[in-house]
Amino acid sequence: MWASRRWSKAKGDRKVASGRQARAARRLVREVEAFLTGSSQEWFFTRGRDIPGWAYINKVAHAEPTRLAQLAAWAPDESTRCRGWREAVGILARDTIRAGAGDPRAIRHIQIDRLVALELVMISRASKVAPQGLVALGQACLSDDGPWHGSA
């Protein structure tokens, strides 16, 4: 009888562990989806977690052209008027569209070559940055001449 209880408990423990692993796997999939679709900021927000600066670059780096245009509408007339994260995202979206001269293929290259690279650097360094600092970093990345200029 003791062996039977032991077997039953071990089997129950495996079910609990399996359930935890399944939940962890689902959570990881949702987090990766959020990253790849540019919605990491929302992922952190809905979980009540601090939003890292890279999550705002994520929004611009992975946005589809129509979404990028919507984000650009948040930009103030002058970059120096950046007062918060929404405006910072708007400025970077607007500047990304300008850097690609409105060409979706060129814009996509810029997003991948420049903004995703910045995003990954910020993730790896766990960088803390204010909205104005993020704009400065993003604009520095966007101002570099890249292989997409004139080739799209």
Co-location of 125 and 60 in the same domain: yes
Report how far residue 63's alpha carbon sits from residue 49's, in angstroms, rounded to the nearest whole number: 22
Report how far residue 119's alpha carbon sits from residue 86's, in angstroms, rounded to the nearest whole number: 17
Torsion sign over Cα 57, 58, 59, 64: positive
Co-location of 62 and 72 in the same domain: yes
CA distances from 67 to 23, 43, 60 (A): 31, 17, 9
Q: How many domains does the chain have?
A: 2
Co-location of 45 and 62 in the same domain: yes
Give the least confident one: 53-67, 78-92, 110-124, 134-148: 134-148
Residue 54 lies in a domain: yes
Residue 53 lies in a domain: yes
**pLDDT at residue 11, as a whole number:** 59
**pLDDT at residue 23, as a whole number:** 87
Co-location of 11 and 23 in the same domain: yes
| 1/143: higher pLDDT | 143
Residue 63 lies in a domain: yes
Report how far residue 77's alpha carbon sits from residue 100's, in angstroms, rounded to the nearest whole number: 19
Residue 60 lies in a domain: yes
Q: Are 76 and 87 in contact (CB under 8 A)?
A: yes
Co-location of 75 and 13 in the same domain: no
Q: Which residue has the tokens 């959570």?
A: 27
User: What's the mean pLDDT in 102-131?
Assistant: 92
Q: What is the pTM of this model?
A: 0.76
**pLDDT at residue 15, as a whole number:** 62
Tell me the residue range of the domain where 5 lies: 1-37
23-77 pLDDT, tens digit per residue, is: 888 888 888 888 888 888 899 999 999 999 999 999 999 999 999 999 999 999 8
